[in-house]
Structure 1
Amino acid sequence: MKYTYTINGMHCNSCRTKVENALNSIEGVEAEVSLNPPKAEISMQKPIQTIQFQEVITSAGNYTIKVFNPNDLKLKATETVAPTPPPNAVGKYYCPMFCEGDKVYDEPGSCPVCGMDLVTIEATGEEENKSYLDLVHKMKIALLFTIPIFIIAMSDMIPNNPLMHVLDMKTWNWVQFILSLPVVFYACWMFFQRAWKSIITWNLNMFTLIGIGSGVAFVFSLVGLFFPEIFPHEFKNHSGHVGLYFEATTVILTLVLLGQLLEARAHNQTSGAIKELLKLAPTEAILVFNGIDTVISIQDIKKGDLLRVKPGDKVPVDGKITEGESTIDESMISGEPIPVDKKINDSVVAGTINGTKSFVMIAEKVGSETLLSQIIQMVNDASRSRAPIQKLADSTSKYFVPIVVGIAAITFFIWAKFGPEENALIYGFINAVAVLIIACPCALGLATPMSVMVGVGKGAQSGVLIKNAEALEKMDKVNVLITDKTGTITEGMPSVEKVFSSTNQEDDLLQNIASLNQYSEHPLAQAVVNFAKAKNTTLLEVKDFESITGKGVLGTVAHKKVALGNKKLMEEVKAIVSDALENQIIAEQKLGKTVSYIAVNGTAVGFVTITDAIKESSSVAIKTLMNQGIEVIMLTGDNKNTAQAVADQLHLTSFQAGCLPEDKLKFIQKLQAEGKIVAMAGDGINDAPALAQADIGIAMGTGTDVAIESAKITLVKGDLQGIVKAKQLSHAVMKNIRQNLFFAFFYNVLGIPIAAGILYPFFGILLSPMIAALAMSFSSVSVIANALRLRTLKF
């Protein structure tokens, strides 16, 4: 015996677990408890009174149980109680989905059950993006204290320094020191932690250079501030003070923090595609039980349930129509703009949108089994499957770091052994510091983000929105472009191409069929009406109008019986179709066009062709890309005839028709396994998994939010010419980055030997750390100036 009960008082998955365990503790009972809706399905070997269930769940908490009533499920989503953190979660991390009940962790990470990031109490709800907000806060702190330090340091270059009239240099040095503390030990302390971790694991990267360079500059400044007397006069300025580098330390760290902030902003949006897909699924459905309609939660639908879908509603789960008929917009799955007529025994898919009629369906696939859920999973898996690219600066740093540290060490020992007898150790230390300061990766740290920031800004001005540096780098290497058809190559909406009349009376035929279609809400009918209105055609009154699902429409217009539809409608009204007209229609259909017969008074006298027009810019853009050596392949969910016609018109050598979302995904995976760098251009929900899987996903800005969120590049105008621009921009940015890296390393290669004192034996020249800092700054200026040249790029 199996019975259903309503449970009240549950607020989270932990509560659900407690209630389920309590009920299962009763001998002969097997219970399954759900949180939303709050129900318990209880199988029992013998009848058990509700009061006994109440006793055991009361011992588990403040919960109540009663026999299930369908009206209990009318609770709206906005009225549900939000999950609450486990009672022991303060200062700990836990899964926001409560997959493991009250279990908490000491360190951040991902849930071992569902894979979601573990959160703290502060990270729930509106503060889900706490990491990004923390960086924003630290950036404000860094700027607040770095700007005054920079002003103080640079004021020494102003003749008759005005700050010296307020305080003396020694006091200003102390001010710089105090102002630098929040930057070094709070806002940017994480960089030193990463540098230390990179050293102890010997995974040397840019943070190693940042930590060593800025750390040495800071330590040198501390020594110069507290023990200036140990420095020889060669390393003091005209006022007798040791040059300090608090501004170099804080500026370097703040610039690096800016780069981290921009990266965090991009990562903070990575889950957007999944969120947009989840919005497609309705939260409620209408259960038909014993002739009564009851609103239930989508999570409570079981296989075999009968569900009513009203006009304009989303289909709740996958299944088949058992009663009624309608027209359903399935563009989210197929990508095709023309809604599909559905009747009894036809399949319907979760998330698709019902037309103007109501129908009853039987649920066949629920939960994770639905096609929408599978698409969500495919997007999620594809997004997680890609490892971050190894930045050129990081890979170079693996060799650069030990070389620089080695040169600094050699410099110290040579000076300590062969330097001036009185100050050999001091000279060794100072010159070693000069080496590390001139090698500090300020320009190296700027080389990539400066070019990326300018390049992204230039792209935005040209209608090409780029999510991150990875997209720019990979776009430059793309050698295969996969493109969707509908809404990408074509306009994405049905339109009338022509009205043909075998009696040369096209205007009269157009008036008749447009008048007839004014009473139909089918999208193809609307296309005919729009075409007629564009030609200023007057619509007439129609009598005896009838719409036959899956066939067409008919009625009486100006005392003539007019029928418009497919061949089945012609057979139903017994219309005579001449061989010549039939051959013409077949020829149009082979070109991939949708053709409707037109019959007047029992004789087929013409036809109307409806097509999805190719965008004017598509042909030029595809030709340009192919001339650049990029292989262009079209994948579409449309039929083979239509796909062949479009491919022939665009001179494409490769295409596949009838593709489902999974087919596109697998096709891209196959190309990637062959070593190809694949870009995917699309605009629909059905393209989302492929966009996420591709090395570069390119979404049409005129498409769905899901496609845009899944992609790395968005073309605002929904124009394939934007791909040409994106390719040119990525090439220019990567070339600019390589130039910047040259500038960064050129000064290092030139300056490091001089800082080490190689010129001293011949010319008596030493490179003071102040000059080293100036050279380092000059390399940064060179990088910035070069990056700004991207603003003049012409497409």
Structure 2
Amino acid sequence: MNHSEMQDHHSPASHDHHAMMIRDFRKRFYTVLALTPPILFLSPMILHWMHIPFTFPGSDYLLLLLSTFVFLYGGRPFLSGWWDEMKDRNPGMMTLIGFAITVAYVYSAATVAGLKGMDFFWELDTLILIMLLGHWIEMKSVAGASRELELLVRLMPSDAHFIQDNGQVKEVRASTLAAGDRILVKPGEKIAADGVIAEGESFLNESMLTGESRPVHKTKGDKVIAAAINGNGVLKVSVTHSPADSYLSRVVQLVKDAQKARSRTQLLADTAARWLTIIALLAGMVTFTWWFIDGKGLAFAIERMVTVIVICCPHALGLAVPLVVAKSTALSAQNGLLIRNRTAFENARRITTLVFDKTGTLTIGKFEVVRYQSTLAAFTPEDIMRLAAALEKGSEHPIATGILKKVKDLDIAPGNAADVQALSGEGITGVVDGKKVAVVSPQSVTGLSAGKDHLQKINAGETLVYVVVNDQVAGFIALADQVRPESRDAIRTLHQNQIKTTLLTGDNKVVAEGVAKDLGMDNFFAEVLPHQKLEKIKELQGQGEFVAMTGDGVNDAPALAQADVGIAVGSGSDIAAETAGIVLVNSNPKDIVSLILFGKATYRKMIQNLLWATGYNVIALPLAAGVLYKQGILLSPAAGAVLMSLSTIVVAINAGLLKVKK
């Protein structure tokens, strides 16, 4: 098994292959185990130790026959692995094991043929037995480490209730659904495809997809994600993506890509494993030469060499990082933390400053109009709301949503707008009732009539937009956005981990200062346009900070790309934030904290595994070579195999203990 490709075991075919390999190792182990008692009973060394003078004509040939079967059948995975590594010119663990058991077998067979010396068939048998057991346990651990991703794949429902043009419902395979189809989702069922609710309302359980533990209330017009579990309501959903292009399918592919990615830590482990292979072969040869020259005999020298080579197998080292990668990436996806870039994820431990976008991350992102006023006699306050609503009708911006909601509550007809254009970072403009109208931010009106006066009258926590008619400020609308309850805890936890927090927003200084002070943040940048965010990130980096930037992945793309760690927040079902190394499904600031803490925990697991895998060899190699031989301490090849297998199991168990703290 090639551990560097361990992460590819996710498709149904590869899972079947992996399960077949586990069964194969189990079968070989039990077969060798059944032959072990007769091999031990026929071994002269064992009989000598037990003071049993048992022998019969041809016993040595029977011992050779049984041991040959064990070598060829039980040792076949290691011998074929050795051959594959030699063909690839990439010697590794299988090279060491294959070489060790071949030397042990050839020497022992030669003693039966007449070479003077004592065979160690029993050691060959126990060595192969323990190596088979170790690989069997290890492969089960590898399968367990990837099980979280397999569970994600299995979340997808296989059937759907397709609503035909005549209104009749037909049972179809979910895989046949296409964009534009309508499906019926009954209470307690899984949603078969991504879509938008056309009729009905319900609470959906999305915990396995987004990490959100509480059911989410969904009504007509809301987006739904395939595999989410419906509550008590009956829903009719208009499909927006086929199951193959669904959010869950893309998450699974994203996880696979991230697991295949080679981070610096993995490259370090691979390099260390290659060097350990070379060191093991050289150490084995030096050990053999030393003891043979020392006069301990050929059998003793070979036994020491075999023990050194076996005990130095870079098995645990080869698994140290891939097991943690498989576990961490799948666990992250289950908790709404989608890792696009492994290095960015591991670099989360180095973050010294975290830059937050305000709207929708630290705040709820749902603006409500708290006051509105006209500043020109020609317009009433209701006119100001009507003009603003006319421009904002097609926008999904939180401010637009707040204005449209207020207009609906006031029962004001918004009117129609023409030539509507978005002004990046400033607002929106168009033509309403033959007049040039704009809804813009405070910094856009400082040079216009009546703009500056109202700019000074913003209340803390408010966001102010101006309605400009024919280049004159006709009025203003003040909206308020509530701070998320989770934001304070998130900022507090970041400070406890020595991470400074900075607010970066296009909002005015009064609002930014109010939010930053309320949350206890270290710094804030206000009235920053999208293209200026990049410069602010550079400014912080120039001060020696290791900066993480949170943004929506679209307007903040340049800043996300510039940041040392880019985190796209609140992307929902849109996970195509190409510039971000990490995508968070929810906008909850606690998820950002979870990400950083989980990144640190993941890195700790990797380092713990690497230290164990290398430290074990530092201690075990001298013992295997026989440095304490005169003190009566000598490891047999079987004991070396036990220690090597134990180190692998420790690494696997340690990786399995990784958890996401929410």
Matched, 1:175 2:73: yes
- Could you give the per-residue CA deviations for residues 582-636 of structure 1, whole angstroms, max 9, x where no partner exists? 966741289762345799xxxx9x9642355543333432233134221223334
**Pairwise CA distance, 1:704:** 8.2
- Could you give the per-residue CA deviations for residues 375-411 of structure 1, whole angstroms, max 9, x where no partner exists? xxxxxxxxxxx99535554576688667655543432
**Distance in 1 of aligned mates of 2:618 and 2:640:** 12
Q: Which residue pairs with 2:95 in the alignment?
A: 215
Contact residue 511 and residue 538 of structure 1 kept, 8 A = no
Contact residue 500 and residue 607 of structure 1 kept, 8 A = yes
Contact residue 145 and residue 183 of structure 1 kept, 8 A = no
Paired letter, 2:24:
P
**Which residues of 2 match residues 434-449 of structure 1 at below 5 A?**
434-449=307-322
**Which residues of 2 match residues 373-772 of structure 1 at below 5 A?**
389=264, 391=266, 393=269, 404=280, 407-420=283-296, 424-467=297-340, 469-492=342-365, 495-499=367-371, 517=389, 521=393, 523=395, 527-531=402-406, 537=409, 539=411, 550=429, 586-588=456-458, 593-595=463-465, 608-637=477-506, 643-657=512-526, 659=528, 663-669=532-538, 671-672=540-541, 675-702=544-571, 705=574, 708-763=577-632, 766-772=634-640
SS at match of 2:350: coil
- Could you give the per-residue CA deviations for residues 109-142 of structure 1, whole angstroms, max 9, x where no partner exists? xxxxxxxxxxxxxxxxxxxxx9998998899767
Contact residue 371 and residue 477 of structure 2 kept, 8 A = yes
Paired letter, 1:783:
V
**Pairwise CA distance, 1:752:** 1.8
**Distance in 2 of aligned mates of 1:612 and 1:214:** 61
Percent pairwise identity:
28
| Residues 468 and 758 of structure 1: CA distance in aligned 2, closer, same or farther (over 3 Å) | farther
**Distance in 1 of aligned mates of 2:32 and 2:7:** 37
**Pairwise CA distance, 1:749:** 3.2
Matched, 1:790 2:658: yes
- Could you give the per-residue CA deviations for residues 250-275 of structure 1, whole angstroms, max 9, x where no partner exists? 9499979989x99xx9xxxxxxxxxx
**Pairwise CA distance, 1:642:** 5.1
Contact residue 216 and residue 437 of structure 1 kept, 8 A = yes
- Could you give the per-residue CA deviations for residues 203-240 of structure 1, whole angstroms, max 9, x where no partner exists? xxxxxxxx2x43121123334455532466463228x9
SS at match of 1:593: strand
**Pairwise CA distance, 1:754:** 2.3
Contact residue 499 and residue 510 of structure 1 kept, 8 A = no
Unaligned runs of 5+ in 1: 1-129, 196-210, 266-385, 503-507, 556-563, 568-576
**Distance in 2 of aligned mates of 1:249 and 1:708:** 45
Matched, 1:775 2:619: no
Contact residue 224 and residue 242 of structure 1 kept, 8 A = no
**Pairwise CA distance, 1:437:** 1.3
Contact residue 415 and residue 428 of structure 1 kept, 8 A = yes
Paired letter, 1:734:
Y
**Distance in 2 of aligned mates of 1:773 and 1:649:** 60
Q: Which residue pairs with 2:89 in the alignment?
A: 193
**Distance in 1 of aligned mates of 2:109 and 2:438:** 98
Matched, 1:151 2:27: yes
**Distance in 2 of aligned mates of 1:667 and 1:636:** 11
| Residues 649 and 145 of structure 1: CA distance in aligned 2, closer, same or farther (over 3 Å) | closer
Root mean square deviation of aligned Cα: 5.3
**Pairwise CA distance, 1:739:** 3.0
**Which residues of 2 match residues 62-461 of structure 1 at below 5 A?**
144=20, 147-157=23-33, 170-178=68-76, 183-186=81-84, 193-195=89-91, 211=92, 213-225=93-105, 228-230=108-110, 233=118, 235-237=120-122, 243-244=127-128, 251=135, 389=264, 391=266, 393=269, 404=280, 407-420=283-296, 424-461=297-334
Contact residue 184 and residue 250 of structure 1 kept, 8 A = no
- Name the TM-score, length of structure 2 as normaliser: 0.58
Contact residue 365 and residue 481 of structure 2 kept, 8 A = yes
- Could you give the per-residue CA deviations for residues 322-349 of structure 1, whole angstroms, max 9, x where no partner exists? xxxxxxxxxxxxxxxxxxxxxxxxxxxx
**Pairwise CA distance, 1:527:** 3.0
Q: Which residue pairs with 1:83 in the alignment?
A: none
Q: Give the count of matched residue pairs.
A: 483
Contact residue 419 and residue 428 of structure 1 kept, 8 A = no
- Could you give the per-residue CA deviations for residues 452-476 of structure 1, whole angstroms, max 9, x where no partner exists? 3333344344333334653443111
Unaligned runs of 5+ in 2: 41-64, 112-116, 150-260, 375-379, 421-428, 441-448
| Residues 390 and 675 of structure 1: CA distance in aligned 2, closer, same or farther (over 3 Å) | farther
- Name the TM-score, length of structure 1 as normaliser: 0.50
**Pairwise CA distance, 1:552:** 8.6
| Residues 224 and 214 of structure 1: CA distance in aligned 2, closer, same or farther (over 3 Å) | same
Contact residue 224 and residue 243 of structure 1 kept, 8 A = no
Paired letter, 1:539:
D
**Distance in 2 of aligned mates of 1:639 and 1:480:** 22
**Distance in 1 of aligned mates of 2:73 and 2:278:** 34
Q: Which residue pairs with 1:111 in the alignment?
A: none
Structure with greater Cα Rg = 1
Contact residue 517 and residue 526 of structure 1 kept, 8 A = no
Contact residue 391 and residue 430 of structure 2 kept, 8 A = no
Paired letter, 1:587:
K
**Pairwise CA distance, 1:498:** 1.0
